[in-house]
Amino acid sequence: MGSVPKGDGVRETGFFMRVVVFANETEQYAGVRHRALWYADRLAADGHAVRFCPTAPVSWWRRLYHRKSRFSKLLYLFMVLLRRMAQLRHVPGADVVFVKGPLFLYGPPLLERVVRRLNPRIAFDMDDALWERPAYVRSPFTGLIDYAWPRKMAALARHAVAGNRVIEAYLRDHGARAVTVVPTCVDPARYAQKTYPARGAGAPLVLGWTGIRDNLGYLRTLGGALAELSREFPLELLVVSDGALELPGVKVVNRPWTVEGELAALQEPDIGLMPLEDTPRARGKCAFKALQYMCAGTPVILSPVGMNTEVVEDGVSGFLADTPEQWKERIRALAADPALRERMGRAGRARVREAYSLETHYPRFLEVLRSAAEGGDR
């Protein structure tokens, strides 16, 4: 690190860093944008030299991987591996290397070990319980995933970033040298406050869910409750994802996720949903869907699992619902009371601004990088 007079942040902190940021997916993945790309952008705006390295361009993923043949996916993975090897040339000259998730999805962390040999100043990030198998993924490739990656990285890196306290406890138990909790943050400046127009007579109550298709199984658990509510009043379920969902007895509107349409997808629903099952994998989630809806001013109903119970004050900044009966009760309450929806939506946004904004946690992230850059070798 050196003292280079460029950028307000560099002038304020008195130090300059050359940072390489590796992301474990393409930029359309929310975790990459909110836990890697946004921090990379902020570091660059502050005058630090940043090299952002995602797995591949989004166009590669769309043409070769998403809903494609097995051969096409293998070709994509081969191209990603070649690209990763080329990206390693940026590692030796960096003051710190930030690794957001596995550098290659399958197999042991061989590339991470190469990075360690080239440059020991490594910090890595986890925002999911990657040591647990995902609940609803059915793919022959999942058997190739190294679920020991987190503990192996704990031994390789100088500093770990955990998205919540469940992940923090796991990393400390497996020998991480230093762990800092940085929740998944959202930037209120990028999420405008929604308005709350009155719904016309006969207009459906719009429930919203956004996420990757691998997690649609959680939403299916509400199928029976939503079908029953659909017989009581007009109801529509807006699903914004890279997959599609059908629920018997429920009007489902499937919409592909896009960067351009993200804000509308968060503001359009009357209520945002985040159902989870109480499993070890789900307990490691970072309540990101909830935070997105809350930041946009949309009231939320969440399963009381993991970090969801920290994000929401039940009945104030959102609702918690465990059983099908509770889900129906909470949805009915919000459906019948537009003033409650607005009050809860505004309280949720205030909660995010106070505790989960990018500006709130950026200094902590910066200290993680500085710690990894300055810490001694093992």
User: Can you give the pLDDT at residue 144?
Assistant: 85
**Residue-averaged pLDDT of the chain:** 91
- pLDDT band at residue 13 under the 50/70/90 scheme: low
User: Contact 267/295 with Cβ under 8 angstroms?
Assistant: no
- pLDDT (tens digit per residue) in 217-261: 999 999 999 999 999 999 999 999 988 999 999 999 999 988 888
Q: Domain map of the chain by residue range?
A: 8-185+357-374, 188-355
| Token digits of residue 32 | 């990459």
Kindly report the three-state secondary structure assignment for every residue of 51-107: EEECCCCHHHHHHHHCCCCHHHHHHHHHHHHHHHHHHHHHCCCCCEEEEECCCCCCE
CA angle 338, 258, 77 (to 5 degrees): 140
User: Can you give the pLDDT at residue 206?
Assistant: 97
Question: What's the rounded Cα separation, in Å, for the pair 104 and 71?
Answer: 18
- pLDDT band at residue 1 under the 50/70/90 scheme: low
Q: Give bridge partners of residue 208 from the DSSP assignment.
A: 238, 272
Question: What's the rounded Cα separation, in Å, for the pair 107 and 332?
Answer: 47
CATH code for the domain defined by 188-355: 3.40.50.2000
Q: Averaged over 140-162, what is the pLDDT?
A: 91
8-185+357-374 and 188-355 share one CATH topology? yes
Q: Averaged over 155-173, what is the pLDDT?
A: 96
- pLDDT (tens digit per residue) in 18-58: 999 999 988 888 889 889 999 999 999 999 999 999 999 88
Domain 8-185+357-374 has CATH 3.30.70.890: no
